[in-house]
A and B are shown apart, each in its own frame.
Chain A
């Protein structure tokens, strides 16, 4: 289940979140991030994001 939300109006498509995701759940396509079912909601990607575009849904 996808438990994070990426604000694509904020995201600068840099790929930092993809690099830190321990589950390999993220992918930077071209100008947007896709999340797959492997996301555990750990929140690591949300911490690293330089602009704060990722939110973990409660």
Chain B
């Protein structure tokens, strides 16, 4: 470790590794630090991603792909099934990843691009001078270090402190976080072709249960419930109840817990000399809870903006505003749309959910886009979903498709 770098990236999840790789590819001198001793472990993820989105960043590699899924099935509280499968384009749907291997593959890419990486190295504070972030304080193997840098990128996940240290309040309200638990299970009859989702206020209050195939008779079975509904019932107990009822013979070989921000876009993700990316910037999707792709997209933008700002010799908040603008125009737009959907859905009773599912029973989905599903729902249930009309105002005009980012 040197005393100074162009960029220090805090956190080697998908956001941090892509930011470090991008900045290093642009010729910057980059340090990527990770407080854990093993990158990618423990996992805090259901590991589902869209195929075409992952390809934006890395060539798919079967070392970190566990399952190739053909579609999704959603079950309403009374068991009414809505099925979405990709029948036309031949399996262009989703992967279930092995994040432990995937996160390391991304760190490998950052290293190969020239970034220096240090594990078991925790940021403990920022170096702030004249209103500018000018480096980080670190602890590595019990010793403290002060490292200077022109830019710090905070990619430190849901537990992010980097933003707070710079005066950006990233604390999440209980109604803006899904509290989650997940078991990796082995079982005889696990469908390896479809992702399954179970809705219902009894089984998962203001959230859902997912079953994502992981190959070889395995699946990630997880639950997310809204933080404000947690307390009397815990995510982990509700998940155990589900397993007892639906998969009584499943054997649990791993347990995962975690929180996913479902807050919508936050006010500010930059300061002089600082950018926040990924879960640290609360960029996960409020309806699906997916954050892998968003954090990689944000990491890439931040790496590019860092290179531009440093070569222009201006790392002020004005120069970094380019990051803010670019992520809000893409990821941010989707997050805000999803927030609208989340705010509508958390109010639904089980009866509402059943009647919504029932209204789709004759609809045949050929694409897995969530927006397609929502639009079909909206058309069939205008009264119940009237709050979502803003989402579709453009659709009605010109049948716009929502895949502007893929």
In the bound assembly, the distance between CA atoms of A47 and B164 in angstroms comes to 22
Does B235 belong to the interface (CB within 8 Å)?
yes
In the bound assembly, the distance between CA atoms of A29 and B124 in angstroms comes to 10
Q: Across the two chains, which residue of chain B brings its CB closest to A16?
A: B259
Query: Which residues from chain A contact B173 at a C-beta distance below 8 Å?
Result: 20
Task: Please determine whether A27 and B35 come into contact, CB atoms closer than 8 angstroms.
Answer: no
Does B252 belong to the interface (CB within 8 Å)?
no
Query: Which residues from chain A contact B181 at a C-beta distance below 8 Å?
Result: 50-51
Does A48 belong to the interface (CB within 8 Å)?
yes
Distance in Å from the Cβ of A9 to the closest Cβ of chain B? 14
Q: Across the two chains, which residue of chain B brings its CB closest to A33?
A: B159
Q: Enumerate A39-55 residues with CB–CB distance to B below 8 Å.
A: 44, 46-52
Task: Please determine whether B42 and A13 come into contact, CB atoms closer than 8 angstroms.
Answer: yes
Task: Please determine whether A16 and B174 come into contact, CB atoms closer than 8 angstroms.
Answer: no
Task: Please determine whether B157 and A15 come into contact, CB atoms closer than 8 angstroms.
Answer: yes
Which residue of A18, A19, A52 contacts B261 across the interface (Cβ within 8 Å)?
A19
Task: Please determine whether B259 and A14 come into contact, CB atoms closer than 8 angstroms.
Answer: yes
In the bound assembly, the distance between CA atoms of A13 and B42 in angstroms comes to 9
Task: Please determine whether B179 and A24 come into contact, CB atoms closer than 8 angstroms.
Answer: no
Known contacts A16-B177, A19-B177, A24-B161; decide if A48 and B171 are in contact (CB<8 Å).
Answer: no
Q: Across the two chains, which residue of chain B brings its CB closest to A13?
A: B42
Task: Please determine whether A30 and B37 come into contact, CB atoms closer than 8 angstroms.
Answer: yes
Task: Please determine whether A50 and B177 come into contact, CB atoms closer than 8 angstroms.
Answer: no
Query: Which residues from chain A contact B161 at a C-beta distance below 8 Å?
Result: 18, 24, 27
Q: Across the two chains, which residue of chain B brings its CB closest to A48?
A: B227
Known contacts A15-B259, A19-B171; decide if A48 and B158 are in contact (CB<8 Å).
Answer: no
Does A6 belong to the interface (CB within 8 Å)?
no
Query: Which residues from chain B contact A46 at a C-beta distance below 8 Å?
Result: 231
In the bound assembly, the distance between CA atoms of A17 and B228 in angstroms comes to 13
Interface residues on A, range: 20 to 34
In the bound assembly, the distance between CA atoms of A12 and B200 in angstroms comes to 26
In the bound assembly, the distance between CA atoms of A48 and B122 in angstroms comes to 24
Task: Please determine whether A12 and B256 come into contact, CB atoms closer than 8 angstroms.
Answer: yes
Distance in Å from the Cβ of A51 to the closest Cβ of chain B? 5
Task: Please determine whether B257 and A51 come into contact, CB atoms closer than 8 angstroms.
Answer: yes
Task: Please determine whether B180 and A50 come into contact, CB atoms closer than 8 angstroms.
Answer: yes
Distance in Å from the Cβ of A24 to the closest Cβ of chain B? 5
Task: Please determine whether A50 and B258 come into contact, CB atoms closer than 8 angstroms.
Answer: yes
Which residue of A16, A17, A20, A30 contacts B35 across the interface (Cβ within 8 Å)?
A30
Distance in Å from the Cβ of A43 to the closest Cβ of chain B? 9
Task: Please determine whether A44 and B174 come into contact, CB atoms closer than 8 angstroms.
Answer: yes
Known contacts A20-B172, A27-B161, A49-B234; decide if A14 and B258 are in contact (CB<8 Å).
Answer: yes
Does A4 belong to the interface (CB within 8 Å)?
no
Query: Which residues from chain A contact B201 at a C-beta distance below 8 Å?
Result: none
Known contacts A18-B158, A19-B160, A21-B171; decide if A30 and B36 are in contact (CB<8 Å).
Answer: yes
Task: Please determine whether B227 and A20 come into contact, CB atoms closer than 8 angstroms.
Answer: yes
Task: Please determine whether A50 and B234 come into contact, CB atoms closer than 8 angstroms.
Answer: yes
The interface bits of chain B over 205-234 (1 if a CB of A lies within 8 angstroms of the residue's CB, else 0) are 000000000000000000000011011001
Q: Across the two chains, which residue of chain B brings its CB closest to A11?
A: B257
In the bound assembly, the distance between CA atoms of A44 and B177 in angstroms comes to 12
Task: Please determine whether A19 and B179 come into contact, CB atoms closer than 8 angstroms.
Answer: no
Task: Please determine whether A19 and B158 come into contact, CB atoms closer than 8 angstroms.
Answer: yes
Task: Please determine whether A50 and B257 come into contact, CB atoms closer than 8 angstroms.
Answer: yes
Distance in Å from the Cβ of B177 to the closest Cβ of chain A? 6
Does A3 belong to the interface (CB within 8 Å)?
no
Task: Please determine whether B171 and A15 come into contact, CB atoms closer than 8 angstroms.
Answer: no
Does B236 belong to the interface (CB within 8 Å)?
yes
Which residue of B35, B159, B228 contacts A19 across the interface (Cβ within 8 Å)?
B159
Report which residue of B35, B173, B227 has the largest number of chain A beta carbons within 10 angstroms of its beta carbon. B227
The interface bits of chain B over 151-171 (1 if a CB of A lies within 8 angstroms of the residue's CB, else 0) are 000000111110010000011
In the bound assembly, the distance between CA atoms of A10 and B256 in angstroms comes to 12
Contact sample, A vs B, 16 pairs, CB 8 Å cutoff: A12-B255, A12-B257, A14-B256, A14-B258, A15-B159, A16-B177, A16-B257, A18-B161, A19-B158, A20-B177, A24-B164, A29-B122, A47-B174, A48-B179, A50-B236, A51-B257
12 more CB-based (< 8 A) A-B contacts, given A49-B179, A50-B258: A14-B44, A14-B258, A19-B177, A20-B173, A20-B177, A21-B171, A24-B171, A30-B35, A47-B227, A47-B228, A47-B231, A51-B234
Task: Identify the 3 closest CB pairs spanning chains A and B, nearest first.
Answer: A16-B259, A15-B159, A12-B257
